[in-house]
Amino acid sequence: MRNVMAIAWRDIRSVFVSPIAYVVLTGFTLLAGWFFFNMLGQFNRLVAQYSMLQGMDTTWLNLNDAVITPLLGNLLVVLLIVIPMITMRSFAEEKSSSTFELLFTSPVRVGEMVLGKYLASAFLVTAMIAIALVFPAILFVYGNPEVGITMAGFLGLYLTALTFVAAGNFTSALTSNQIIATISAMVILLLLFVIGWPAEGAGEPIKSILVYLSVTEHFQSMIKGVLDTRDLVYFASVSVVFLFLTHRAVESARWK
Amino acid sequence: MIEVKNLTKTYGSITAVDDVSFQVATGQAAGFLGPNGAGKTTTMRIITGFMPATAGTVKVDGFDVFEDSFEVRKRIGYLPETPPLYLEMTVRSYLRHVGKLKAIARTAVAGAADRVIEECGLEQVAGRLCGHLSKGYRQRVGLAQALIHEPAVLILDEPTIGLDPAQIIEIRSLIRRLTTDRTVILSTHILPEVQQICAKVVIINGGHIALEADIAELVRERSLEEEYLRHVSGDAGLAGPQAAGRATSSEGDAAHA
């Protein structure tokens, strides 16, 4: 455990002493703020328009459906692009420099390296999502969105992001080239996004399998405020699979 | 004590190290010589546990590098060809980080870092970023990280490569000071360096051991340089025409001198 923390702490510090962390956090906050501003503006226009019409059912027009849900969807797309860039360094950078030799000639287990690297990337992603919580906080001050749905939605975003981190670390462990690591991580994440597309026309059991594998399916159900163990199990198991694959990839790098 | 027995390493169809065996006694310093691509770095990487061998065994102080990898890693200090520095860290925080990785007790890490900073003459640069250091200082930090856990065995891969003459002399005297009571394998291309630091020489060529001898005995008849050229150009057919040509011209030079 001490080695895990040593490796994680070093990686976190390295990101925060360089401009990387600040560029990522600023860019993410800027984009999230722009989404939020525009969705809220649109919501206000709709409320103003519908309030002039008498007797219309406007219960569908609420902050959760009109602002928070689309905001979470957009943030997920941003994370899909940003997370591969956060995780690309984790192993690829060490492999391209001699620090990989330092790690492997020190009494450190491969599992400890994998966990340490994962925690370091997860830390930055946690900071990003913590900052994004400021937007629902604003809504709670000036309006009354549903607490449960909002929290479930953000939890869904967070768990999806952590799964992306595990996948990104895996591609970084496969190569010493950071560009290859980034692009292959993006491909994997996009595939997880769209793998459910052919499900509609497919027969069982392919249909259920595709739906189960699709990250969007589980994300959508959490955005609706449904806290289902099946979704939690999905995120946990996909993360564990990627961490395991990372372990194998790092281990095999020595045998080549 | 380092025992290398029948060590073989292949990369795909290329055999980098072929049935290599040699020993370095406890407290002895061995110079590891050979042309570029002869298998020096591969052998050293296997001894340190960085990569597994295809066949054969390596024992360090009785521990097998593959079976008891962690026991070996705790006993070995390793300076790879490029010092394994994190360029965005300061020298002091880097050395403390390495101390943690080398399983030094929590309370002793800061003290160990200060000790190697002093031993390697890094007081002036302890607060500077590794990335801002000159090559000579980077090499010293590399030595410091290899020494931080007070290893009984030291593996140094071309520690003076790419340094200017003044830096070479500094690093060399530092190595001599630090290696007095340690088992050392030092790879280098500078033959006088071996004579100054080591009691033993191992020459590897084309993946095979060409010579394993005590330097004192060896240099009684010929100079180390002559011995080196004799063993390295011995199988010129293996090494290729370029190497053969180089060896002949050097021999010519030697004859001329």
Mean pLDDT of B18-42: 91
- In this prediction, residue B234 carries a pLDDT of 57
Mean pLDDT of B77-83: 93
Mean pLDDT of B39-59: 92
pLDDT higher than 70, residue B251:
no
Give strand pairing partners of A224.
none
- In this prediction, residue B221 carries a pLDDT of 79
Q: If DSSP codes are grouped into helix, strand and coil, which group holds residue B106? A: helix
- Enumerate the residues of chain A whose CB falls inside 8 A of the CB of residue B70: 107
Interface check A102 vs B, CB under 8 A: yes
Interface check A14 vs B, CB under 8 A: yes
Does the distance separating the beta carbons of A98 and B83 come in below 8 Å? Answer: yes
Does the distance separating the beta carbons of A14 and B89 come in below 8 Å? Answer: yes
Mean pLDDT of B21-34: 92
- In this prediction, residue A109 carries a pLDDT of 93
CA distance A88 to B137: 29
CA distance B116 to B151: 12
Q: How many CB atoms lie within 10 A of CB B45?
A: 24
Mean pLDDT of A95-104: 91
CA distance A18 to B168: 33
Domain spans in chain A, listed from the N-terminal domain onward: 2-254
- Enumerate the residues of chain A whose CB falls inside 8 A of the CB of residue B145: 102
Mean pLDDT of A62-81: 90
The structure tokens listed for B182 are 């340690």
| pLDDT tens column, A124-142 | 999 999 999 999 999 888 8
Considering CB atoms only, which of A14, A102, A256 is closest to B88?
Answer: A14
Q: Among the listed ranges A64-68, A82-86, B123-127, B134-138, which one has the minimum average pLDDT value? A: A64-68
pLDDT higher than 60, residue A101:
yes
DSSP sequence for A204-218: TTHHHHHHHH-HHHH
Q: Among the listed ranges A46-55, A242-251, B107-116, which one has the minimum average pLDDT value? A: A46-55
Note which residues in 150-169 of chain B have CB less than 8 A from chain A. none
Give strand pairing partners of B205.
B208
- Structure confidence at residue A35 as a pLDDT band (50, 70, 90): very high
Does the distance separating the beta carbons of A3 and B82 come in below 8 Å? Answer: no
Interface check B51 vs A, CB under 8 A: yes
Q: How far is A5 from chain B (nearest CA, A)?
A: 10
pLDDT higher than 80, residue B84:
yes
| pLDDT tens column, B97-120 | 999 999 999 999 999 999 999 988
For chain B, give the mean pLDDT: 86
Closest of B30, B17, B24 to residue B2, by C-alpha: B24
Nearest CA in chain A to B13: A256
- In this prediction, residue B44 carries a pLDDT of 94
Give Cα separations from B242 to A17, A66, B239, B245, B247 (angstroms).
48, 74, 8, 5, 9
pLDDT higher than 60, residue B242:
no
Closest of B88, B106, B141, B92 to residue A3, by C-alpha: B106
Interface check B228 vs A, CB under 8 A: no
Mean pLDDT of B149-158: 93
Show the CA angle centred on residue A186, arms to residues A184 and A192, nearest 5°.
105
Closest of A234, A246, A83 to residue A161, by C-alpha: A83
CB B208 within 8 A of CB B37: no
- In this prediction, residue A256 carries a pLDDT of 67
Q: How many CB atoms lie within 10 A of CB A94?
A: 25
How many CB pairs below 8 Å do chains A and B form together? 69
**Residue percentage of chain B with pLDDT more than 70:** 91
- In this prediction, residue B30 carries a pLDDT of 93
pLDDT higher than 60, residue B244:
no
Mean pLDDT of B120-132: 93
Q: How far is A7 from chain B (nearest CA, A)?
A: 8
pLDDT higher than 90, residue B248:
no
**Residue percentage of chain A with pLDDT more than 70:** 98
- This model of the complex carries an ipTM of 0.86
Q: Among the listed ranges A22-36, A61-75, B169-183, B235-249, which one has the minimum average pLDDT value? A: B235-249
- Structure confidence at residue B220 as a pLDDT band (50, 70, 90): confident
Taking only Cα atoms into account, the Rg of chain B, rounded to an integer number of angstroms, comes to 19
Considering CB atoms only, which of A100, A107, A254 is closest to B102?
Answer: A107
Instruction: Please tell me which of A195-204, A214-223, B210-219 the model is most confident about, judged by mean pLDDT.
Output: A214-223
CA distance A91 to A28: 24
Mean pLDDT of B89-96: 96
Does the distance separating the beta carbons of B85 and A254 come in below 8 Å? Answer: no
pLDDT higher than 50, residue B243:
no
CB A133 within 8 A of CB A154: yes
Q: How far is B143 from chain A (nearest CA, A)?
A: 12
Considering CB atoms only, which of B73, B88, B103 is closest to A18?
Answer: B88
Three-state DSSP string of B11-38: ECCEEEEEEEEEEECCCCEEEEECCCCC
**Total residue length of chain B:** 257
| pLDDT tens column, A149-166 | 899 999 999 999 999 999
